[in-house]
Chain A
Amino acid sequence: MIEQRAEERPATAPAGTIAGVVTIPQGQGDQIPARRGLRAPTFERVRPFLHNRKAVAGALMLLFFFAVAILAPVISPGDANDIVSRRHLAPSSEHWFGTTGAGQDVFDQTIWGARQTLGVGIMVGILTTMLSALIGMTAGYFGGKIDDLLSLITNVFLIIPALPLLVVLVGFLGSGGSWYFIAVLTVTSWAWGARVLRSQTLSLREKDFVSAAEVSGESTFRIIFVEIFPNMTSLAAANMFGTTIYAIGALSALQFLGLGNPSVISWGTNLYWAGNSGALLTGAWWTVIPSGLAIALVAFAFALINYAVDEVTNPRLRAQRLASDALRKSGRSLRKAGRATPVVRHAA
């Protein structure tokens, strides 16, 4: 493995540092100490995120939902589809979220619904990112005709509108289980990530460490996935979170439209049944709010983490936040600070 990589690459951002106008006092920063010749260990790479309030908030929310999904049998034992009481009862101490149009407990359904929604969302996120990385990096690395062909395919997939395609696919091929939806969602959403990863590969490809690896005879596979890819992990991670948000939203939308599998308990199908039983017209808001709010909170948590990844990896945004924090702490007004965006200069 080529060791020059570490000093070649600044601590958190793949792009090079830019000479700054403002130097942020060292104690404030969440920078990784640069060590010559060694890649910073994993904990050091994670630490900037721990200092970032948004990342912590997002991660905590996600952890909460994961815990709920995993612990569903403990929190709500039994089958959530059981009819437990009369229809459309308002929330009470017995049924915390009330009952549905069929007399099922809304709280149980919301808890159990987390499983399929989160499961499908994350699987789609992972598979899509893998597919995007494969296609995007291959196109970016090889260039030439391979790049032209793969880019064309990527752009065509990108431009064909996803939700109508999903609706038409489900219309023709019928509905199916979780894996069917994972496959369909992956096929329609890999293109965006492929494009992003391709352009990043294109810029990284010109760097010296790649030429050095080629000259020293490393296999192409190793160059792409062992040398270049680790420099793009934050981008790939951001892409994965974004795709997961999209997958959860698209899955819920399909289920809400009635194209999902109505016998599976999921947040989207909960909303479908709520709509079908005329929840809004009878004023049974408690059947509609929990699942929708849950989807929004999970999406928001991922968005927060994405926002934080953006800030940590983009030197300008990070410097902007640090500058405003520093100025606010010292009591000075931000307006007087001037227009230019400060960029952090790494103390050697």
Chain B
Amino acid sequence: MRFILRRLGFYLIAAWASLTLNFLLPRMMPGDPASVIFARAQGRMRPEAIEAMKQAYGLSDDPLPVQYWNYVKSVFSGNLGTSFVYFPAPVTDVIKTGLAWTLLLGLTAVILSFVIGCVLGIVGAWKRGGMVDSVLPPLLIFVGSFPYFWLAAVALFFLGFKWDVFPLRHAYAEGLSPAWDWEFIRSVGSHLILPAATIIVVSIGGWVLGMRNTMIGVLAEDYVTMAEAKGLSQRRVMFAYAARNALLPNITAFGMALGFVLSGALITEVVFSYPGLGYQLLNAVRGLDYPLMQGLFLMITLAVLTANFLVDILYVRMDPRVRSR
């Protein structure tokens, strides 16, 4: 319990740090933020947008701590400002749709990658010298060296464009409206396969290697020898004794991978025009939509922190040694 409380305290501090960073970013730009933004927009912004922007930043002549306090208050009351690009939609509305898609893509990709990678790593370490052990890790590491976006672009070109196996862009077919019917779900699924597959293929090598290395360490332990001496079946020793303990360091890595996926998914979303948080973030940057950029960054950071916290809770349940600390 103490472990969880300590981790919660840490995540709260990290959340506060990202909130402060968000606050400081527009003020870090050289010169007065308002005039810089106006100059950069070069007449592309309507007067209402300028007013909204000033309000969104609390850009007043108040001293910095007052501005900071106003900003924190507005964030906690759910007011993240008004978007420029999607004016007059509030930032929270724009983010809501993006969050759902990013979670779908990111969670699917990282969970599948983790499960498949760990199983391959377990099998590879168990059957030492076999094909899984000698061929697969270097091959997967090589594939994992390719930059996400490049692999995604090539996959999109061949599988989407040339051979027309998978759809080219977006999260569901144009013309369909979101509803809980079979047609929509099927469309979402078919649009999800290619983006998720590219993320999985690139990241699976790390899991295979990590799991294999920890398994090799665990297999030398006495309790594995004891289990075999007791006459338990190979499968039971492999999964219930060895893998269960080898899994623990990888659970911590899983938490970190969640963070990576949410940022790596950014590029995948851009290549596939998948309307998640990352895609929206890039459009916001291109359109100089500062409130939206801030809101999206905050949302991405909070998602990563929440995911890590949930993984920590999972870790406590899986490793009894931590509870006694």
Contact = CB atoms under 8 A, between A and B. Distances in A.
Interface stretch (B49-57, B82-90, B110-118, B218-226): B218-226
A335 to B, nearest CB: 7
B142 A300 contact: yes
Contacts of B147: 249, 252-253, 256, 292, 295-296, 299
A292 B305 contact: no
A211 interface: no
Contact of B10 (A152, A257, A258, A303): A152
A296 B219 contact: no
A170 interface: yes
A74 interface: no
B146 A295 contact: yes
Interface string B191-223: 000000000000000000000010011011000
Contacts of A245: 145
A288 B305 contact: no
Nearest to A155: B10
B220 A341 contact: yes
Interface in A284-343: 285, 288-289, 292, 295-297, 299-300, 303-304, 307, 310, 314, 316-317, 320, 324, 327-328, 334-335, 337, 339-341, 343
A259 interface: yes
Nearest to A18: B220
Contacts of A340: 219-220, 225
A171 B294 CA distance: 10
A195 B264 CA distance: 22
B107 to A, nearest CB: 15
Contacts of B294: 168
A339 B308 contact: no
Given A163-B266, A275-B153, A320-B128, A171 B284 contact: yes
B228 A339 contact: yes
B145 A303 contact: yes
Nearest to A300: B145
A172 interface: yes
Interface string A152-163: 100110111111
A317 B220 CA distance: 12
Contact of B161 (A280, A289, A320, A339): A280
A280 B157 contact: yes
A288 B154 CA distance: 8
Contacts of B313: none
Interface in B1-60: 10-11, 13-14, 17-18, 21, 25-26, 28-29
Contacts of A297: 145
B241 to A, nearest CB: 11
A167 B285 contact: yes
A71 B309 CA distance: 50
Most buried by B among A256, A327, A337, A339: A339
A106 interface: no
Give the one of B29, B128, B213, B288 with max A CB within 10 A: B128
B234 to A, nearest CB: 9
Given A173-B29, A296-B145, A324-B129, A160 B17 contact: yes
A165 interface: yes
A280 B213 contact: no
A275 B288 CA distance: 22
A155 B220 CA distance: 32
Contact of A253 (B148, B262, B286): B148
Given A280-B161, A335-B127, A307 B154 contact: no
Contacts of A249: 147-148
Contacts of B95: none
Interface string B274-294: 000010011011101010011
Nearest to B22: A168
B304 interface: yes
Contacts of A215: none
Given A258-B286, A341-B220, A163 B263 contact: yes
Contact of B149 (A171, A256, A304): A256
Contacts of B281: 164, 167-168
A256 B154 contact: no
B216 A164 contact: no
B246 interface: no
A289 B153 CA distance: 10
B145 A299 contact: yes
A299 B301 CA distance: 27
A171 B285 CA distance: 5
B145 A161 contact: no
B156 A324 contact: no
A317 B213 contact: yes
Given A162-B263, A172-B26, A296 B142 contact: yes
Q: Which 9 A-B pairs have the closest CB atoms?
A: A292-B150, A334-B129, A163-B263, A299-B145, A171-B285, A300-B145, A161-B263, A341-B220, A296-B146
Given A258-B286, A320-B128, 11 more contacts: A156-B14, A164-B278, A164-B300, A165-B297, A167-B282, A281-B161, A292-B150, A292-B154, A334-B128, A335-B128, A341-B220
12 contacts: A159-B14, A160-B17, A161-B262, A169-B25, A170-B285, A172-B293, A271-B153, A288-B150, A296-B142, A334-B128, A335-B128, A335-B129
